């Protein structure tokens, strides 16, 4: 039979159809050359043939599927063995005959097709009868699957794409596709991506047909149809028949041309599906903008105006509504310079935009952290100033938006100059003071080291003083500062001299002091902080002070309003009289007056010697007022109340209920960003206070838990504990410093709450060791984490629990490799901390103690060994793919080598004893000489210089023709493989699976660069025999240098 098959003897197998051996009959039937079609048909219809033989013949490649064979097959297998009769139906070459047998016999075979999840032969049937398959899909007999749907797409793309996209036939996408992070691809998006890449003309026809089909449907159906096709075009990322950005833009424009005019008017926002251009090249950005104007240009004038600037009022004029969705979306799709110059300003050439549109482009688009687009912001503001019939409050509101967002002082200065020109120099002192405060803040920020805020280049605007008019009665220092500001900026003037010494900050500080006195009607001085000390005689010697100052009128000395209360009844009466005056301001309508009232009440309470009673009365009042106040008043209340000179920390815990109420109201507020920084600082102070007073063996207080809640995770509790424990001795209460048991209790609580256990234990395991390292700063000796492990037994229990629950793959990397590296690094730390012996005056090596060996107790526990075994089982079973698993095994072998080297190098002396754990190769051979670091034990860690891995890392799979082959170093070192037998055995099992063979071979070679021995040599020999030149590429195969790693 074998000879007949080799000789292609057609018809020779007929005499073997009745052979007693089932194997022989099976080989005859399955062969394509031993039977003729007539012989196969005769045997199938013969009454002498057994049912077993006829079952074999249903899969015979040469058996014809005519009506006679099908009728006989149905009588034999149709009732009970439909899957056998299906093999006969797959041989049918006529679509009508196939459809007839599907519907005959009460549609038994059609029901069989719909009941089987994955039916054999569907790709062949799809290739032969694509239209019939599409019909079966539409009547829910079969569901599209990508493995046979792609045959219909290749043979009849138009019919298949219309069935999928227009008729909405459901299906299952490929397991691997164009979205790498998704396990199973979406069928519809995969088919649409295939159509855009291979058959774009058919996709344009589908767009036309879809618009006609959904013309009478709701607007949402049409909008979803267009959005789906446009999105699939832009999201196509396959490298096969790759679509460039310019091609996608071109296809989108052609798609827009296929859309009827009546559909364009209803759904005009096609340009929002263009690619986002923030990271595109200049020519692609130009194409995106040109495409947008082409899409918009195809609309009628009314629709285009509504799309770009929003709805126009019925009476005409400028739009007054919010910014249009199209402007909001497309403005954020391209960089700010293009959004302003090539988009917004071109819109303004044709239409007028609403105030909301100007504000959106100025604030949302031009706003930046370093002021890079502040000039664009100024350009938008100038455009807005040119708009006719805009009331002054709206102009001021637009300027205040620029004032808040801009980071460049020159831009703010120019914008204010243009605003004053527009308003004829009419400005309120409140606005002027906000500008001065903002300029002062930016000036301080720009002077910081490595600041991104641009520095001011224009002179200080001393002409702004013209907006200030002093009253008849004013404090002397205010009058003096006002005259200084009016003295001019020349070096001979007082202002110029002050600017020369103190810088621009003096101008803003002096101006703010004058404005504060006028706005708040107060005469208190403002102290200038952080000024340089020294003799000012040189400064004032060149200034003619008398020429521009006037003598202050004599005034009576008044009592200080901030009297230090002693606790007597008279003193309390004076305090409550002052507090009642302040509360009158709080009840005023003006927010500035209320702010002043809140500041006065808190200041009066904080100036009392006994602050308990004032704050017990004040805190409930502020809590009740907080929820009804505006944002700026709320901010002032929180900042002043919890400032260092505000309410003392020791009064916070008795008033915890009121503090909790403030926190709940602030956290639920819509714009609570301005409050969160204050509460975060407050939480840090609470933690510092409560942790120092924690008693040993006790649970955390409610006050401590509240501090952790309001800190919002922004406070490093470990650093607080370490700093408190290392604090120098003083009279303050600090149990973390004075009581080791209290420190142990706090540390245990931090570990239990910070390093939580559960299903997602990838992060907590690494965080466990990071926390240990932070606490290691407490150890003044060389033990570091090792000392904590001995003194705090709960660390061992937590480590064991984390290892027991570490079932996720995200924890495998740390358990398998990183922890070994950490312990090896710890060994290096112990070796650095050599301790001198009794005779410290000499420098002999004998007078120094031997370094401690590396600490490996965490990886010697039964829980750790069980976790490692579990990871290896995941690698062997394929749960962790072979490529990643082999890489993890190779890196673990490297880590074990480093740990072994640290151990041996630290506890053994030089000599022959080392030969038990390392192997040195001194054979020169044909390898080039590398004489750097020949003495591998001359210093700690220099063994790495003779590792083969340094040579191996320069190699690649492809051996280029023009490259020179560098040989191994003549002297090298390997570790003995006795500590890595389990890892090598796991690599061997991975090699047998033949999964990701190239990656597994490469990782085996890398492991062989580190260890040697009988087990590794056997694995290398097995790996070399596994290599196939046909797979590796023959002459360019890695085997050209691979065996010499041995």
Residue 466 host element (H or E)? none
Is residue 108 left, alpha or beta, with left meaning phi > 0 and alpha meaning psi from -120 to 50? alpha
CA angle, corner 1032, sides to 872 and 968, nearest 5? 80
Of residues 513 and 832, the one with the higher pLDDT is: 513
On whether the CB atoms of residues 403 and 489 are closer than 8 A, the answer is no
> What's the chain's average pLDDT?
77
Of residues 836 and 952, the one with the higher pLDDT is: 952
pLDDT in tens, 414-463: 999 999 888 888 888 889 999 999 999 999 999 888 888 888 888 899 88
pLDDT in tens, 724-767: 777 766 667 777 777 888 888 888 887 777 765 544 444 567 77
Percent of the chain at pLDDT exceeding 70: 79
Q: What is the pLDDT of residue 439?
A: 92
Q: What is the pLDDT of residue 561?
A: 37
Buried b (16+ CB within 10 A) or exposed e, 178-198: bbeeeeebbbbbbbbbbbbbe
pLDDT reading at 466 higher than 50: yes
pLDDT reading at 852 higher than 70: no
End-to-end CA separation in angstroms for the chain:
47
For residues 795-800, give the mean pLDDT.
80
Q: What is the pLDDT of residue 1032?
A: 59
Q: What is the pLDDT of residue 809?
A: 62
Q: Band the pLDDT of 401: cuts 50, 70, 90.
A: very high
Q: What is the pLDDT of residue 167?
A: 82
Q: What is the pLDDT of residue 11?
A: 80
pLDDT reading at 398 higher than 50: yes
On whether the CB atoms of residues 336 and 376 are closer than 8 A, the answer is yes
Q: Band the pLDDT of 405: cuts 50, 70, 90.
A: very high
The three-state secondary structure class of 821 is helix
On whether the CB atoms of residues 270 and 232 are closer than 8 A, the answer is no
For residues 783-791, give the mean pLDDT.
69
> What's the CA dihedral at 442, 445, 450, 455 to 10 degrees?
30
10-16, long-range: CB within 8 Å, 24+ apart, which pairs? 10/34, 10/35, 10/36, 11/35, 11/36, 11/39, 13/39, 14/39, 14/43
Which tokens hold the place of 875? 């690698």
pLDDT reading at 412 higher than 90: yes
Distance (Å, whole) CA 412 – CA 1027: 71
- Measured in whole angstroms, how far is the alpha carbon of residue 785 from the centre of its chain? 32
Distance (Å, whole) CA 859 – CA 815: 9
Of 146-150, 233-237, 594-598, 702-706, give the lowest mean pLDDT range: 146-150
Q: Band the pLDDT of 985: cuts 50, 70, 90.
A: very high
Q: What is the pLDDT of residue 910?
A: 32
Question: E strands within 189-303?
Answer: none
- pTM higher than 0.85: no
Of 438-452, 818-832, 991-1005, give the lowest mean pLDDT range: 818-832
Q: Band the pLDDT of 970: cuts 50, 70, 90.
A: low
| Alpha helix stretches (DSSP H) within 424-490 | 429-446, 476-485
Q: What is the pLDDT of residue 509?
A: 92
pLDDT reading at 543 higher than 90: no
Give CA separation, 974 vs 75, 778, 893, 1015, in Å: 73, 39, 12, 14
Which tokens hold the place of 780? 């003044």
pLDDT reading at 986 higher than 90: yes
Q: What is the pLDDT of residue 577?
A: 65
On whether the CB atoms of residues 690 and 704 are closer than 8 A, the answer is yes
Give CA separation, 880 vs 176, 876, 888, 955, in Å: 17, 8, 10, 26
pLDDT reading at 576 higher than 60: yes
Q: What is the pLDDT of residue 925?
A: 43
Of residues 75 and 583, the one with the higher pLDDT is: 75
Q: What is the pLDDT of residue 70?
A: 83
What is the torsional sign of CA 362, 365, 370, 373? negative
pLDDT reading at 924 higher than 80: no
Q: Band the pLDDT of 403: cuts 50, 70, 90.
A: very high
Q: Band the pLDDT of 569: cuts 50, 70, 90.
A: low
For residues 61-71, give the mean pLDDT.
84
Of 479-483, 740-744, 747-751, 847-851, give the lowest mean pLDDT range: 847-851
pLDDT reading at 472 higher than 90: no
Q: What is the pLDDT of residue 539?
A: 46
Q: Band the pLDDT of 1029: cuts 50, 70, 90.
A: low
On whether the CB atoms of residues 486 and 403 are closer than 8 A, the answer is no
Of 166-175, 306-315, 432-441, 724-733, give the lowest mean pLDDT range: 724-733
Nearest to 576 by CA among 612, 618, 619, 609: 618
pLDDT in tens, 6-24: 888 888 777 777 788 878 8
pLDDT reading at 85 higher than 50: yes
What is the torsional sign of CA 355, 356, 359, 360? negative
> Tokens 């009588």 label which residue?
75
pLDDT in tens, 275-303: 876 566 777 888 888 888 888 888 888 88
Distinct helix (H) and strand (E) counts, the chain = 52, 5
Q: What is the pLDDT of residue 836?
A: 45
For residues 837-866, give the mean pLDDT.
61
Nearest to 682 by CA among 701, 700, 656: 656
CA angle, corner 887, sides to 881 and 888, nearest 5? 85
Q: Band the pLDDT of 547: cuts 50, 70, 90.
A: very low
Q: Which residues pair with 1011 in a beta bridge?
A: 975
Q: Band the pLDDT of 601: cuts 50, 70, 90.
A: confident
pLDDT reading at 922 higher than 60: no
For residues 753-782, give the mean pLDDT.
63
Percent of the chain at pLDDT exceeding 90: 6
Q: Band the pLDDT of 927: cuts 50, 70, 90.
A: very low
pLDDT in tens, 656-669: 888 888 888 888 77
Q: What is the pLDDT of residue 37?
A: 85
Q: What is the pLDDT of residue 378?
A: 92
């Amino acid at each position: 039979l074998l000879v007949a098959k080799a000789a292609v003897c057609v018809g020779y197998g007929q005499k073997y159809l009745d052979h007693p051996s089932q194997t022989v009959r099976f080989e005859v039937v399955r062969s394509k050359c031993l039977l003729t079609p007539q012989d196969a048909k005769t045997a199938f219809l013969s009454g002498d043939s057994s049912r077993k033989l006829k079952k074999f013949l249903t899969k015979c490649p040469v058996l014809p599927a005519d009506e006679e064979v099908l009728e006989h097959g149905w009588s034999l297998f149709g009732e009970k063995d439909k899957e056998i009769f299906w093999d006969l139906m797959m041989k049918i070459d006529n679509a009508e005959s196939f459809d007839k047998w599907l519907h005959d016999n009460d549609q038994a075979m059609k029901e069989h097709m719909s009941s089987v999840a994955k039916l054999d032969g569907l790709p062949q049937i799809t290739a032969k009868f694509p239209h019939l398959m599409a019909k079966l899909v539409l009547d829910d007999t079969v569901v599209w699957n990508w493995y046979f749907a792609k045959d219909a797409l290749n043979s009849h793309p138009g019919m298949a794409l219309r069935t999928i996209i227009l008729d909405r036939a459901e299906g299952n996408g490929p397991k691997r596709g164009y979205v790498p992070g998704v396990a199973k691809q979406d069928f519809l998006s995969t088919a649409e991506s295939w159509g855009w890449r291979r058959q774009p003309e058919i996709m344009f026809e589908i767009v036309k047909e879809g618009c006609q089909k959904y013309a009478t449907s709701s607007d949402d159906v049409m909008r979803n149809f267009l959005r789906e096709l446009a999105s699939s075009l832009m999201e196509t990322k396959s490298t096969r028949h790759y679509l460039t950005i310019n091609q996608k833009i071109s296809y989108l424009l052609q798609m827009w041309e296929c859309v009827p005019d009546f559909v364009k008017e209803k759904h005009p926002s096609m340009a929002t599906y263009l690619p986002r251009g923030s990271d595109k090249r200049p020519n692609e950005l130009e194409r995106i903008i040109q495409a947008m104007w082409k899409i918009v240009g195809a609309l009628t004038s009314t629709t285009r105006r509504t799309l770009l600037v929003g709805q126009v009022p019925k009476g005409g004029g400028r739009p007054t509504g919010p910014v249009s969705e199209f402007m909001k979306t497309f403005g954020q799709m391209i960089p700010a310079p293009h959004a302003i110059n090539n988009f917004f300003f071109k819109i303004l050439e044709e239409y007028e935009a609403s105030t909301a549109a100007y504000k959106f482009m100025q604030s949302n688009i031009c706003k930046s952290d370093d002021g890079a687009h502040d000039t664009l912001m100024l350009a938008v503001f100038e455009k807005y100033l040119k708009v006719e019939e805009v009331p002054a409050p709206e102009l001021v509101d637009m300027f205040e938006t620029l004032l808040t967002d801009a980071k460049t002082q020159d831009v703010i200065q120019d914008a204010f100059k243009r605003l004053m020109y527009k308003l004829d120099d009419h400005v309120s002192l409140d606005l002027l003071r906000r500008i001065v405060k903002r300029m002062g803040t930016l000036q301080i920020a720009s002077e910081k080291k490595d600041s991104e805020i641009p520095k001011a280049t224009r002179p200080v605007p001393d002409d702004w003083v013209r907006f200030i008019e002093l009253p008849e009665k004013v404090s002397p220092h205010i009058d003096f500062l006002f005259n200084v500001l009016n003295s001019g900026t020349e070096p001979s003037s007082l202002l110029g001299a002050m600017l020369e010494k103190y810088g621009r900050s003096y101008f803003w500080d002096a101006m703010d002091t004058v404005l504060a006195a006028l706005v708040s009607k107060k005469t208190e001085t403002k102290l200038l902080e952080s000024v340089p000390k020294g003799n000012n005689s040189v400064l004032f010697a060149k200034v003619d002070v008398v020429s521009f100052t006037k003598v202050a009128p004599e005034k009576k000395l008044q009592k200080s309003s901030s009297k230090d209360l002693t606790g007597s009844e008279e003193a309390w009466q004076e305090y409550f009289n002052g507090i009642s005056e302040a509360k009158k301001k709080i009840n005023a309508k003006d927010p500035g007056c209320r702010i002043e009232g809140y500041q006065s009440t808190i200041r009066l309470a904080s100036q009392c010697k006994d602050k308990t009673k004032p704050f017990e009365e004040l805190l409930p009042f502020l809590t009740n007022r907080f929820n009804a106040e505006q944002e700026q008043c709320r901010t002032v209340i929180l900042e002043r109340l919890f400032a260092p000179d505000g309410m003392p920390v020791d009064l916070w815990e008795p008033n915890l209920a009121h503090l909790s109420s403030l926190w709940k109201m602030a956290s639920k507020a819509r714009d609570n960003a301005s409050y969160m920084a204050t509460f975060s600082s407050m939480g840090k102070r609470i933690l510092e206070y409560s942790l120092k007073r924690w008693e040993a063996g006790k649970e955390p207080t409610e006050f401590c838990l509240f501090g952790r809640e309001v800190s919002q995770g922004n406070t490093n509790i470990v650093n607080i504990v370490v700093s408190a424990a290392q604090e120098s001795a003083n009279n303050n209460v600090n149990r973390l410093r004075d009581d080791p048991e209290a420190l142990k209790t706090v540390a245990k609580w931090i570990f239990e709450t910070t390093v939580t256990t559960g299903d997602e234990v990838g992060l907590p395991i690494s965080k466990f060791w990071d926390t240990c390292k932070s606490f290691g700063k407490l150890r003044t000796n060389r033990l570091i984490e090792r000392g904590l492990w001995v003194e705090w037994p709960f660390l061992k229990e937590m480590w064991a629990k984390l290892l027991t629950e570490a079932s996720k793959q995200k924890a495998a990397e740390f358990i398998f490799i990183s922890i070994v590296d950490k312990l090896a690094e710890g060994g290096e730390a112990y070796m650095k901390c050599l301790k001198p012996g009794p005779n410290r005056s000499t420098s002999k090596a004998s007078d120094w103690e031997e370094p401690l060996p590396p600490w490996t107790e965490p990886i010697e526990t039964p829980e750790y060994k069980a976790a490692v075994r579990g990871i290896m089982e995941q690698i062997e079973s394929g749960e962790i793919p072979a490529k990643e698993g082999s890489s993890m095994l190779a890196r673990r072998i490297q880590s074990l080598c480093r740990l072994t080297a640290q151990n041996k190098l630290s506890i053994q002396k030089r000599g022959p004893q080392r030969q038990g754990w390392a192997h040195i190769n001194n054979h020169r051979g044909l390898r080039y000489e590398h004489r750097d670091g020949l003495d591998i034990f001359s210093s700690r860690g220099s063994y790495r210089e003779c590792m083969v891995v340094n040579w191996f890392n320069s190699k690649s799979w492809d051996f280029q023709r023009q490259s020179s082959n560098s040989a191994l170093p003549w002297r090298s070192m390997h570790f003995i493989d006795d500590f890595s037998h389990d890892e090598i055995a796991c690599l061997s099992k991975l090699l047998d699976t033949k999964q990701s063979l190239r990656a597994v071979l490469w990782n085996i070679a890398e492991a062989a660069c580190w260890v040697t021995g009988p087990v590794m040599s056997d694995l290398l020999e097995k790996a070399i025999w596994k290599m196939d030149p046909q797979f590796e590429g023959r002459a360019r195969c890695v085997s050209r240098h691979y065996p010499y790693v041995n």
